[in-house]
Structure 1
């Protein structure tokens, strides 16, 4: 039996339904978009992109690329020298950090003077600031001084943008000790490292580790839950990483079925963040230091 031709009244009803649907769509939304799910499926899992400050030479490119892909990341901030001959937490960078905050990115501290752990001996902690007034000198640091170093980046971000940092920190070079981890948590900050596959290699020599190699390795090795680490620019790399790798990396990972989130949603940190914010730990530390 052949297909029954719809009646005139039936065809008119369908036209009215189609017009009603079109009127209900938000401006700029095409009919093809309306069929897409509200929440994107992530068959390969979720990745957590993080960026440390560095030279800031690729800062705008990275921000623009993330914006095109509608991806939010976590940025760890230190006051490092930049290609503009200032510091990355200088007020001149306020428009950049404000734009990232407006895009929904989140922030953690990388210490203010990019302070490396040198050694812990007999309960005494020795650190070496890479930048600032004590750059290149070994300094003894106690819990109060260490906490102040973590807070300086948070205070700088707040003064420029009004945004609060997450209660997270990343040690320069990833160098930690039980003592510094304990001190940080007493201040309200939990340490964040990165997955082995999440080391994206932007600080390696481009002669030995060309962009094509780093791209292929990341696409092959990254797995659900991995935290990645790259920088907003590296002085020493001759062939910059971000212009050659970031766009194809994000596109390739999306094709593989990955989604992206900030560390606010990471299962290892979200409860800590919730407790720290609710309990007022980070704010309380800042108030105590302001009274000293």
Structure 2
């Protein structure tokens, strides 16, 4: 990292505020996406000092690159400096489709084979999990936790077992934590999604959002993100990374 960039991060990155003893945490997580809203998300998180967990895949972006290319290096370094947590989302955003002889049929939505189903054996799936971690460490100098989120949340017992065998723990989300930014704006406008989350999210829930969804017309973030943070805090909830989760914390702290 250049000295000037390091100084800028030191001056601008506010450490995320941890929950205090006795407070009721929720765990906000972001999967990568087209990244157009990523700077806006970062601004909201920093202003409200909210720590989150990011799950990284090398997805296509609206600027014609990918979410883990050099264009985004400074952005990821800044998030690491702020104290957020990080996990894998597979390199090519490989969506599990079925268990097959010899491994798993997946459909990547990114990379050279996007949209073309392929079969990965256990070793290849583990490599797909490890590659974002290697890239993240190269970008930030920090190790990634050994946690992952399967794209779309689609898994099988065999896939989860294969991931566990190479040291990875899967992280899903709570039913009320599905914040709906993948849903069509026409039938699920932002105000509906906001009110639903404010009503239904409970202490201990893992919340799911993205750094941009191609199919959504009206961006969820920051339109919903900021009032959601304010509203949940008003209900007496606080935000923590998965490093502080009672069940997943050990895995989220491992590197």
TM-score > 0.5 by shorter chain: yes
Instruction: Kindly indicate whether residue 127 of structure 2 is the aligned counterpart of residue 148 of structure 1.
Output: yes
Corresponding residue for 2:250?
A: 271
- C-alpha distance in structure 2 between counterparts of 1:198 and 1:176, whole Å: 18
**8 A Cα contact 1:42 1:259, kept in partner:** no
Corresponding residue for 2:232?
A: 253
- C-alpha distance in structure 1 between counterparts of 2:213 and 2:129, whole Å: 22
What is the Cα deviation at residue 239 of structure 1? Answer: 0.9
> Unaligned regions of 5+ residues in structure 2, if any?
1-17
User: Deviation digits for residues 41-76 of structure 1, max 9, x if unmatched?
Assistant: 755x11000000011011011111011111100000
Moved over 4 A (4+): 38-43
Instruction: Kindly indicate whether residue 84 of structure 2 is the aligned counterpart of residue 105 of structure 1.
Output: yes
User: Deviation digits for residues 128-186 of structure 1, max 9, x if unmatched?
Assistant: 21111222222121111011000110111111111111110000110001111011111
**8 A Cα contact 1:111 1:171, kept in partner:** yes
Corresponding residue for 1:129?
A: 108
- C-alpha distance in structure 1 between counterparts of 2:95 and 2:50, whole Å: 30
Corresponding residue for 1:197?
A: 176
- C-alpha distance in structure 1 between counterparts of 2:41 and 2:199, whole Å: 22
Instruction: Kindly indicate whether residue 91 of structure 2 is the aligned counterpart of residue 91 of structure 1.
Output: no
**8 A Cα contact 1:42 1:257, kept in partner:** no
What is the Cα deviation at residue 243 of structure 1? Answer: 2.6
SS at the partner of 1:229? strand
User: Deviation digits for residues 168-220 of structure 1, max 9, x if unmatched?
Assistant: 00001100011110111111110000001100001111110011100000000
Corresponding residue for 1:157?
A: 136
1:66 counterpart (45, 62, 65) = 45
> Unaligned regions of 5+ residues in structure 1, if any?
1-37, 278-292
What is the Cα deviation at residue 273 of structure 1? Answer: 4.1
1:75 counterpart (54, 61, 66) = 54
Instruction: Kindly indicate whether residue 147 of structure 2 is the aligned counterpart of residue 175 of structure 1.
Output: no
User: Deviation digits for residues 266-287 of structure 1, max 9, x if unmatched?
Assistant: 011113345x44xxxxxxxxxx
Greater fraction helix: 1
- C-alpha distance in structure 1 between counterparts of 2:102 and 2:66, whole Å: 33
What is the Cα deviation at residue 246 of structure 1? Answer: 0.8
SS at the partner of 2:155? coil
- C-alpha distance in structure 1 between counterparts of 2:76 and 2:251, whole Å: 24
Structure 1 pair 260/210, CA: closer, same or farther in 2 (3 Å)? Answer: same
What is the Cα deviation at residue 40 of structure 1? Answer: 4.6
- C-alpha distance in structure 2 between counterparts of 1:42 and 1:60, whole Å: 32
**Under a length normalisation based on structure 1, what TM-score does the superposition of the two structures give?**
0.78
C-alpha root-mean-square deviation of aligned residues, in Å?
Answer: 1.6
**8 A Cα contact 1:110 1:171, kept in partner:** yes
- C-alpha distance in structure 2 between counterparts of 1:40 and 1:217, whole Å: 26
**8 A Cα contact 1:57 1:234, kept in partner:** no
**8 A Cα contact 2:103 2:122, kept in partner:** no
- C-alpha distance in structure 2 between counterparts of 1:247 and 1:269, whole Å: 26
Instruction: Kindly indicate whether residue 214 of structure 2 is the aligned counterpart of residue 225 of structure 1.
Output: no
- C-alpha distance in structure 1 between counterparts of 2:63 and 2:113, whole Å: 22
SS at the partner of 2:116? coil
**Under a length normalisation based on structure 2, what TM-score does the superposition of the two structures give?**
0.89
